[in-house]
Amino acid sequence: MVMAALLSACASNPRPRSPQGRPAAKIGAKQEGTASWYGPDFHGKRTACGERFDQEALTAAHGSWPCGTRVKVTLVQTGRSVVVTINDLFRGHKGRVIDVSRGAARAIGLLGPGTGRVRLEVVR
């Protein structure tokens, strides 16, 4: 019985699964809007995709693109970009289109202002 439990744990799929009902994101799909960032309060907790949130990783939450989607995020104000992996749900709080991790926010210069206008493009 213990052996069966160990084998089933090893056989589990390590890739995060997208929440049901999310259509695949088309490469090249674009979106513009306001971004925000999140980190300390969620660090170490499970994301909607099933992985542990690391506030320094280059990840993000989006309202409709599925888990595993790679998105180029460009902060209009700075012109700086970062590629993030969608690993969480985001319901468009206050009209925002994406919520990036603290690490991603730092990379594009979003930490200080907290929110900013971004251009998104699905790259994979």
Q: Quickly tell me which residue has 């888990």 as its tokens.
A: 67
What pLDDT does 20 receive?
A: 52
What pLDDT does 90 receive?
A: 82
Instruction: Give 20-57 pLDDT, tens digit per residue.
Output: 557 788 999 999 999 999 988 899 999 999 999 999 99
Q: Supply the DSSP string of the chain, one letter for each residue.
A: -HHHHHHHHHTS--S--PPTTPPPPPTT-EEEEEEEEE-TTTTTSBPTTSSBP-TTSSEEEESSSPTT-EEEEEETTT--EEEEEEEEE---GGGEEEEEEHHHHHHHT-TTTSEEEEEEEE--
Instruction: Give 9-27 pLDDT, tens digit per residue.
Output: 444 434 444 455 577 889 9
* Mean model confidence pLDDT for the chain: 85
What pLDDT does 4 receive?
A: 40
* Backbone phi and psi for residue 16, each to the nearest 5 degrees, phi listed first: -65, 145
Q: Is the pLDDT of residue 110 over 60?
A: yes
Q: Which residues pair with 36 in a beta bridge?
A: 99, 115
- What's the CA gap between 88 and 31, in Å, rounded? 18
Query: Would you say 70 and 85 are in contact if contact means Cβ atoms under 8 Å apart?
Result: yes
Question: Residue 91's pLDDT band (boundaries 50, 70, 90)?
Answer: confident
Instruction: Indicate the pTM of the whole model.
Output: 0.81
Question: Residue 116's pLDDT band (boundaries 50, 70, 90)?
Answer: very high
111, two tokens = 């930490």
pLDDT (average), residues 62-86: 96
Q: Is the pLDDT of residue 115 over 80?
A: yes
